[in-house]
Amino acid sequence: MVEVGQLLAEGKGKRIYATDDPRKAVVYFKDEAMAFHGLKRGRILGKGEVNNAVSRQFFQLLKKNGIENHYLEQIDSRQSLVWRAEMIPVEVKVRNRAAGSLSRRIGLSTGTVLEPPVLELFLKDDYLENPMVNISHILAMKLATKAEMDEICRTALRVNDIITAYMKEIGVEVIDFKLEFGRFEGRILVADEISPDTARFWDVRTHEPLDIDRFRRDLGNVEQAYQELLHRMMGMDDATEGDGGNA
């Protein structure tokens, strides 16, 4: 039984709690939603449960493919146990198609294929509205070493390969996604979450979003989109297990 302790941090979609083991923490996923640096707020019913389950699926998938991450186990429908990594304050965004801020910044039409994928780095600082930075900035600010950033960038692109192949099997295209990394016992781990809150997922056939963009853009059916994504992923998981683990 995990003993949940004091609140360590709270973000847009999660709370992080200490446990009786100083090496571990509990992530609690919330239903609250936020967009445009907090200018738009709301609640997506059941979002926390979906994000908890989807993140579990992705982290387990990464582990099977040799990508170290902070995930340990799911506690209940909204909580998971993770390694308590020292977070590196850099967000890594991997983009396979132009969308959102990238389209606005460089003038590419939404949906333009990016080949090879574009990798962007952002300083994790809400007060500064998470500005884009480069590796030179990160090194000068002593946020990470060159070796760490090389590993982080390689890992991010490898994660992209793994999850895009997986999602293609369920008729979902990975448009872009955000990753965060942390240090734990001398290793760099993928941490935070991978969910419809931190990624853009489009239905392959209709190009309809199955993610937080439905909330951002007032497209409606937000809860249904989250549930549809989870339903497809759970179906893929069941099919894999039924096939002896060979997808």
Which tens digits make up the pLDDT trace of 16-40?
A: 999 999 999 999 999 999 887 777 8
Task: Establish if 128 belongs to a structural domain.
Answer: yes
pTM score, two decimals? Answer: 0.92
Residue 244 has pLDDT above 50, yes or no: no
Residues of the chain with pLDDT > 90, as a percent, come to 89
Calculate the alpha carbon distances from 156 to 144, 160, 187 in Å: 16, 6, 15
One-letter amino acid at 11 equals G
Q: Where are the beta strands (DSSP E) in 59-171?
A: 71-74, 79-83, 86-87, 90-97, 113-123, 132-133
Domain limits for position 51: 4-83
Q: Which of 174, 219, 223 is nearest to 46 (CA)?
A: 223
My answer on whether 96 and 204 are in the same domain is: yes
The rounded Cα 83 to chain-centroid distance in angstroms is 16
My answer on whether 105 and 201 are in the same domain is: yes
Q: What average pLDDT does the segment 185-204 reach?
A: 98
My answer on whether 217 and 95 are in the same domain is: yes
Task: Establish if 129 belongs to a structural domain.
Answer: yes
Task: Establish if 230 belongs to a structural domain.
Answer: no
Please give the pLDDT value at position 241. Answer: 55
Q: What does the pLDDT look like over 83-95, one tens digit per residue?
A: 999 999 999 999 9
Q: Answer whether 225's CB lies under 8 Å from 45's CB.
A: no
- To 5 degrees, how large is the angle CA 82–CA 83–CA 87? 105
pLDDT band at 242 (very low <50, low <70, confident <90, very high): low
My answer on whether 147 and 217 are in the same domain is: yes
CATH assignment of the domain containing 32: 3.30.200.20
Q: Is 109 exposed, middle or buried (0-12, 13-18, 19+ CB in 10 A)?
A: exposed
Q: What does the pLDDT look like over 143-190, one tens digit per residue?
A: 999 999 999 999 999 999 999 999 999 999 999 999 999 999 999 999
Residue 237 has pLDDT above 70, yes or no: no
Q: Domain tally for the chain?
A: 2
Residue 240 has pLDDT above 70, yes or no: no
Please give the pLDDT value at position 238. Answer: 58
Please give the pLDDT value at position 247. Answer: 34
Please give the pLDDT value at position 245. Answer: 44
Residues of the chain with pLDDT > 70, as a percent, come to 96
Q: How far apart are CA 74 and CA 122, in angstroms?
A: 29
DSSP state of 144: S
CATH assignment of the domain containing 197: 3.30.470.20
